[in-house]
Amino acid sequence: MQITCALVTISDRASRGEYEDLGGPALRDEAQRLGWKVVGESMVPDDIRQIQRAIREQIARGAQLVLTTGGTGVAPRDVTPEAVLEIADREIPGFGEAMRMRSLAITPNAILSRGLAASVDRTLVICLPGKPAGAVECLGFVVGAVPHCVKVLQQVPTSC
């Protein structure tokens, strides 16, 4: 199954040009390595409405999967989970649970991660850490479930 994917980087400093975004490019490389077609990329500050707008724009571009990087920690400006959950049809908790569980073998700070996944308008949205290595690692922990989840979400519901 060919998956169309989009990337949203969430970072106050990178969106202001104060430093180079490395998380987005790392995820783009990994998505392409996995054979996914990247149909869009955007960068926004840690702002709930701008995060939601960016995700919806990527969905409108045809993304079946949106990967976000950044804003999943415990700092006051880390609002990616809240932004996604406000527009989600439903959370898919196993993704966040698996990412934290596997990450704990790498760092004790994994328990601070608020990464998650949810469906938004029949699109799978996965919220990954902002650090490039962490984003790619966490995606790797859940990648096996992504094709099936995308396929199920994309199915047109049948009426009774």
pLDDT for res 41: 97
- Would you list the domain boundaries of the chain? 4-154
Give which of 29, 48, 17, 19 is closest to 7, Cα–Cα.
Answer: 29
Q: How far apart are CA 46 and CA 83, in angstroms?
A: 10
Mean pLDDT by 10 residues, the chain (160 residues): 95 92 95 98 97 98 98 96 98 98 96 97 97 97 98 80
Tell me how many helices (H) and strands (E) the chain has: 7, 6
Three-state secondary-structure class, residue 159? coil
Confidence at residue 152, expressed as pLDDT on a 0 to 100 scale: 97
Q: What is the CATH number of domain 4-154?
A: 3.40.980.10
> What is residue 38's predicted lDDT score, i.e. its pLDDT?
98
Structure token digits, residue 111 = 């328990």
